[in-house]
Amino acid sequence: MPIQAAYYPSFSTILVNYRFDLGTVTVEIENLTTAEHYQTTVDATQGVHPYQISGSSGNWVITFTLSGGSTYGGSFEIE
């Protein structure tokens, strides 16, 4: 996997490790329970990039869309 992500509750932050230079990536993070939505487009160079969220309880999804159209995603729950 070219992307690894982990949520750190003490900082309400998702740390994303881009294992390769992926170019331009659109990152969408959504809480399906509260309808919170975050979206940003970044230059996803190799390394760790932080994305701060509210930390609200609920079911969350994160989607990465690469400039070539490939998508990667995952889901997690905050209690």
The pLDDT of residue 31: 98
Q: What is the CATH number of the domain that holds 23?
A: 2.60.40.3080
The pLDDT of residue 1: 80
Report the half-sphere exposure of 50 (CA within 13 A, side-chain side): 7
Number of structural domains found in the chain: 1
Report the candidate in 56, 54, 44 with the shortest Cα–Cα distance to residue 3: 44
The pLDDT of residue 27: 98
The pLDDT of residue 55: 96
Give the pLDDT of the chain (79 residues) as one tens digit per residue.
899 999 999 999 999 999 999 999 999 999 999 999 999 999 998 899 999 999 999 999 999 999 999 999 999 999 9
Q: Which residues constitute the domain of residue 20?
A: 3-78
- Could you tell me which residues come within 8 angstroms of residue 76 by beta carbon, excluding any fewer than 6 positions away? 7, 59, 60, 62
